[in-house]
């Protein structure tokens, strides 16, 4: 080192002098912000180093702090995961219990409002097979269950008892190809035979192509099979199209659509009515009736609508009002006149808006008498023997019919009537 300095002594001294000169200039010169250059250079040179030192210090301090403070976090996290799993299982269990309680409540309500005698059962097993169209329930012959009894749920029919054992029973589901039940449609009352297809749907056979079956229509048990009582829902039509001889009707069974947990076995069936189709009815707006034209009388009793609005008047109402006016003009009360009363002249013209005038009833004290139509017109009055007589001059002459050889019979003279213009008979 000493050899190197002694060898380049002059150069080293020159460099030291130049460096000292620069330091002195930087100390004396200031920039635009009135800051000495020596300070700017010092800050610029020291800042990266200070940043590096501070980052290393912060990282070391944070690591030590996390290690000391959160050293038990992993164990607490594991405990919380175990607690969450337990709560999830408990939640699932409570949901299952709630669904079971709801189904039991629905079964109880259905059993209460249905007149048939039923007994509840729980599905405990499924029969082995490719289609799985039979299940086992925990009610058997010891509970009164017999072969051929119907099995239902509040949603619809499920099947029938295929075999009854002392403590359990085998139930053939509605979707089995060997199952059959008589059904009838709700809307058009079309009868058919419900059969399973081996999977989730069924079909309705022996429905003529002329019968009307709509998609979405419900089918109910008809009671013809002597297994299911009448009125139990069977399912809803998903497709209906004409076939070669009968319609091809596909039906979605409603009893097994939501799975089977609890069922009802019908011990004594009672037929019930098929519910009517409910149509949605809402309020219908009706505009107020037209005002009567000029010179036209308003119909009697025109008020009576909502808020004293004019009620609607039909042709039948106007005809009835006209007949009432005609009867009032002739002092005729419909339904209250004794036998033999003169009938009403319905051709009597009454001007619109004119109040019918009450006319007095003709009597013998009035001194006037209306002549009979045949006498007033001078027409021949027919007789029972075929002859005719002309009223005139107070007498009558009997007319002999043509071809008659018997004696001529004179017609009896008409009775005299108290009238000023009446002519006494000769």
From CA 158, how far away is CA 151, in angstroms rounded? Answer: 5
Model pLDDT, residue 376:
40
Look at the block and give the residue holding tokens 């449609």.
185
Q: Are 88 and 82 in contact (CB under 8 A)?
A: no
- Domain residue ranges of the chain, discontinuous segments joined by +: 2-61, 114-268, 297-359
How much helix, strand and coil, in percent to the nearest 5, is found in the chain?
Answer: 30, 20, 50
DSSP for 12-81 reads HHHHHHHHHHHHHHHHH-B-TTS-BHHHHHHHHHHHHHHHHHHHHHHHHHHHHHHHHHTTTHHHHHHHHH
* pLDDT tens track for 279-337: 656 677 777 767 766 665 555 544 555 445 455 567 888 888 888 888 888 888 777 77
Total count of residues recorded for the chain: 426
pTM of the model: 0.48
Determine the topology of domain 114-268 in CATH. Thrombin, subunit H (2.40.10)
Phi, psi of 121 (to 5 degrees): -150, 155
Model pLDDT, residue 199:
83
Question: How far is the first Cα of the chain from the last one, in angstroms, to the nearest whole number?
Answer: 191
From CA 212, how far away is CA 317, in angstroms rounded? Answer: 39
Model pLDDT, residue 179:
92
- Largest Cα span, the chain: 197
| Distance, CA of 48 to chain centre | 79
> Buried b / exposed e across 124-153, counting CB within 10 Å, b at 16+?
eeebeeeeebbbbbebbbebebeeebbbbb
| Distance, CA of 287 to chain centre | 27
Model pLDDT, residue 373:
42
Q: In 3-state terms, what secondary structure has residue 111?
A: helix
For residue 422, give Cα distances in angstroms to 95, 362, 395: 107, 17, 12
For residue 383, give Cα distances in angstroms to 386, 388, 391, 399, 401: 5, 6, 13, 10, 11
Model pLDDT, residue 280:
59
The two structure tokens encoding residue 396: 């009558």
The two structure tokens encoding residue 385: 């023997």
Rg (Cα) of the chain, in Å, rounded? 56
Q: Are 239 and 194 in contact (CB under 8 A)?
A: no
Model pLDDT, residue 32:
76
DSSP H helices, 70-148, are 73-113
SS (H, E, C) 375-402: HHCCCEEECCCCCEEECECCECCCCCCC
Phi, psi of 102 (to 5 degrees): -65, -40
The two structure tokens encoding residue 148: 């051929």
- Each residue's pLDDT, cut to its tens digit, for the chain (426 residues) gives 667 667 777 778 888 888 887 887 777 777 777 778 777 878 888 888 888 888 888 888 777 777 766 767 777 888 899 999 999 999 988 888 888 787 777 778 877 888 889 998 999 988 766 556 889 999 999 999 999 999 999 889 999 999 999 999 999 999 999 999 999 999 889 999 999 988 888 999 999 999 999 999 999 999 998 999 999 999 999 999 998 889 999 999 999 888 888 899 999 989 888 888 776 566 777 777 677 666 655 555 445 554 454 555 678 888 888 888 888 888 887 777 777 778 888 787 776 556 555 444 444 443 444 444 444 444 444 444 444 444 444 443 333 444 444 444 444 554 544 444 444 443
Q: Are 242 and 208 in contact (CB under 8 A)?
A: no
Nearest Cα neighbor of 266 from 123, 160, 141, 135 is 160
């Amino acid at each position: 080192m000493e050899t190197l300095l002694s060898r380049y002594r002059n150069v080293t001294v020159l460099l030291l002098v130049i460096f000292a000169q620069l330091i002195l200039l930087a100390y004396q010169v200031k920039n635009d912000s009135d800051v000495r250059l020596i300070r700017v250079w010092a800050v610029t040179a020291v800042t990266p180093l200070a940043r590096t030192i501070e980052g290393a210090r912060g990282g070391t301090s944070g690591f030590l702090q996390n290690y000391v403070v959160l050293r038990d976090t992993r164990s607490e996290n594991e405990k919380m995961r175990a607690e969450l799993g337990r709560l999830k299982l408990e939640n699932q269990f409570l949901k299952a219990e709630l669904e079971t309680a709801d189904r039991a409540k629905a079964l109880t309500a259905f059993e209460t409002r249905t007149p048939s005698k039923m007994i509840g059962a729980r599905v405990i097993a499924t029969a082995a097979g490719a289609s799985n169209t039979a299940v086992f329930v925990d009610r058997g012959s010891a509970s009164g269950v017999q072969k051929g009894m119907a099995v239902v749920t509040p949603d619809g029919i499920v099947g029938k008892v295929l075999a009854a054992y002392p403590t359990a029973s085998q139930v053939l589901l509605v979707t089995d190809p060997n199952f059959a039940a008589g059904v009838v449609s709700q809307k058009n009352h079309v009868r058919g035979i419900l059969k399973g297809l081996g999977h989730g749907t069924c079909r309705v056979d022996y429905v003529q192509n002329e019968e009307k079956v709509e998609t979405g229509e419900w089918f109910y048990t008809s009671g013809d099979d002597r297994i299911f009582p009448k009125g139990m829902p069977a399912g809803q039509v998903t497709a209906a199209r004409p076939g070669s001889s009968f319609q091809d009707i596909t039906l979605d069974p409603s009893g097994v659509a939501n799975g089977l947990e609890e069922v009802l076995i019908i011990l004594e069936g009672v037929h019930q009515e098929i519910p009517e189709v409910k149509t949605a009815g809402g309020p219908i707006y009706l505009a107020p009736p037209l005002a009567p034209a000029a010179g036209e009388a308003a119909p009697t009793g025109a008020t009576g609508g909502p808020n004293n609005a004019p009620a609607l008047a039909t042709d039948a109402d106007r005809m009835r009002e006209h007949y009432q006016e005609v009867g009032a003009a002739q002092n005729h009360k419909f339904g209250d006149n004794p036998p033999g009363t003169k009938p009403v002249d319905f051709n009597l013209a009454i001007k619109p808006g004119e109040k019918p005038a009450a006319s007095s009833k003709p009597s013998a004290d009035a001194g006037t008498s209306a002549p009979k139509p045949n006498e007033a017109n001078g027409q021949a009055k027919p007789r029972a023997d075929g002859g005719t007589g002309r009223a005139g001059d107070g007498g009558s002459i009997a007319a002999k019919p043509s071809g008659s050889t018997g004696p001529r019979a004179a017609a009896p003279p008409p009775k005299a009537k108290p009238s000023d213009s009446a002519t006494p008979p000769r």
